[in-house]
Every structure is written in structure tokens, then in C-alpha cells.
Amino acid sequence: MVLIYVGINIGQTIVLFYLWSVQRNYPPARDWAIGSFSFATGLFLFALRNVAPPVLSEVASNLFLLPGLMLFNFGVVKAAGRVPPMKFGLVFCAVACAILAWFAVGDPNYPVAVIVHNAVILAFYLYPAYVCLRAKTATGNHTFRLIGILFLMLALACAWRVAGGVFGLTFSFSPTLPRLFWIATSLICFPMITVLLTLHTSQRLQEEIHAQARRDALTGAYNRRAFIEFADKEWSRSLRQGAPLSILSVDIDHFKSFNDLHGHPTGDAALVEVSKSAQAALRASDIWCRHGGEEFIALLPDTSIGQALAVAERLRLSVERTTIPSPSGPLSVSVSIGVAERTARHESVTELLAISDSALYQAKAAGRNRVVAAAQKAPAPVRIASSA
């Protein structure tokens, strides 16, 4: 039975190493793979207890088994969004291994060794169970709750194994039943946990791909596709709740000339720096998107025209003060911004965007490096940046 358990753990190790190869940038996957390998090695050495000396089958096996179980379970804790106490865990394992070594070869005492060994394992089951059951996950995602329940089942089996094997609390069942129940529970729960972790990693990979598909590769701002998703959502909410909604149309002044003069690499650097400074000037609830070329859009939920003008002016000043690295030395650019707010006469986001674009053209025509609201007839003059 133990050899079957070892074989299943080796299979899990192979699966988890493959999972790690796919998700190299995901630390929990590394912990699962290395921890599972160490745990399987410890089980294999323990399975040799009838043919190998205690130093190998009991002392050396625990040096692999307990740290491996800790690393695997701490990887689950990381995946659930918590930082496990790694240093404490290593010290805990070292102390436990020293105690078990003493009761295995120093002063052999099987009952005490069983109690200590299972107490450590029980602690390593209860901790991830607690974390997984309290993990904050997306609505409808019960992966970690299921993992937490499986760890509780393992903890229950481990506790009954000690109660039945050491204290004889079998509750009128066969004396061998607690040990068989522990092995059966392990054979069922660990493969299920591996499947659930694989599912979690797959879901995470899909979320990463989806997030990357919504971002501009150069600036990190949301792209046009993401803007449409956010705009439709905020437009519907604005209609339902009667909440204000504003849009900023932002364009880098004289960008074509800047590109021609300083080269495309410096032009790309300008796009990146402008996007960074703009996002720093925006609020957490605002949505910043690259619409194409040197054109950007900011979607401002719950924002009136007056508030939007203040945000736009802050953004303009932030960009104006930003320096752009180049082979010829620091450079600067400026932006022109058009502002529009949704009203009852607007029928769609497309119409509102066209109005903010019209205000942007007014800002360009009036000298650039300024903010113009769609309702304004004459923009206020603003000092133009020297390198715009």
C-alpha cells in the first residue's frame, strides 16, 4: 500500500514539474514541484524500512518528507494570497527531525515518534486549510475552498491515525482501520489537490492572457478594446444611476515632428513617459487608454465637467514637467486635452468621444498645451513648454 502511495506521489511530482515548466514566473508552482519531489523521496526511503537501516528509512526519510510537505503546502498558501512563515517552518522542521531522529536511533520509542511525526504533519495540514478556507477569490471560484476542505480531511485522517494507532481509539472498528483510512484519504486527497492546483494555474494563465490582451504593449495603458469594454460598462451605469461621466481626449503636441527630429526610439520613450506621468496625475477610479499613435483617452466615472477640467489640468501640468531621456539629453513635450461630459442628449459613448475630440481640435487650434471643454468658446491661454 505504501509503495502505491509512493507511485502516486511520483506521478504528481511529474505533473507538477511540468506545471512549473509552463509557469516559470509563478513561485507557488516551483514550491509545489520541489516540495512534491522531496515528499516523494522521503516516502520512498520510508518504504524501505524493512530492508534498510533506521538511519536511512526513518532519519533520512524525515529530512526529505517533512520539509517537502512544508514547501508544498506553503506553496498552496502563497497561491491563496498569503505569505507563509518560511523561516519558522524550516526551524520547525529541523527541530521535529532532530526529535524524531532521537526517538528512532538514539532512544527508540515508537509511540512517541508516531505522535511527534503526526503532530507536525497535522500542523502542516491545518495551516493551509485555514488559509484556503479564508482566501478571497473571485465570485464563483471555489477552488481554494475545495482545497481547504481536502486539507481538513487529511488532518482528520491524520488525527484518527494517531488516536487509533497509539491510544486505541478505534470506536469499535478494526484496529487497522485508522491507518487504512489515513492511507485511503491521502490517496484520494493529494491527487485531487494536484488537479485543483492545475486548474487554478490554468485559470491564472487565462487571466494573464486576457489582461495582456487589454493592455498596450509599449505604454502599459489599456488599449482601444479595453476602452470599449470599460466605456460601455460605465455608460450603462451612468444612465442607470444618473451619475456624471466625463472623457478626456489627450494628444501629444507636435509628435510627428518630435519623432522625425529625435528618432523613433526617443518617440517611443516619449509615449512611455507621457503615459506614466498621466497615470500618476489621474485618480484610482480613472481609466487611462492609448487610443492609437500619440492619442490617449481618459475615462472619468462619477466626474462632472468641472471636476474633469481640474483633472485634465493636473494631467497637462504633470506631462509638461516630465523629462524624456534621449541621446542628445533630456527633452520635454506637452499635450492638448479636450474634455466632454455626458448629458441627456448624448446617445452613445462614440458621440461623447467625438465631442471631446472636437474640443481637442479647438485646443490644438488655439496654440496647444492647454485644456478645452466642449462647452467652452474660447480657451484660456497657457504658457507653452519650451521643447514642445
**Using an 8 Å Cβ cutoff, are 335 and 294 in contact?**
no
What backbone torsions phi and psi does residue 191 show, to the nearest 5 degrees? -60, -35
**Using an 8 Å Cβ cutoff, are 385 and 333 in contact?**
yes
- The grid coordinates of residue 375 equal 462647452
Q: In what order do the strands lie in the sheet with 245-252?
A: 287-292, 295-301, 245-252, 335-341, 371-373
| Whole-angstrom distance, CA of residue 122 vs CA of residue 254 | 67
Among residues 234, 273, 294, 341, the one annotated as catalytic is 294
Task: Identify the burial level of 191 via C-beta atoms within 10 angstroms of its C-beta, where 0-12 means exposed, 13-18 middle and 19 or more buried.
Answer: middle
Q: Is 294 a catalytic residue?
A: yes
Closest of 147, 151, 97 to residue 120, by C-alpha = 97
CB atoms within 10 A of CB 377: 7
**Positions marked active-site:** 294
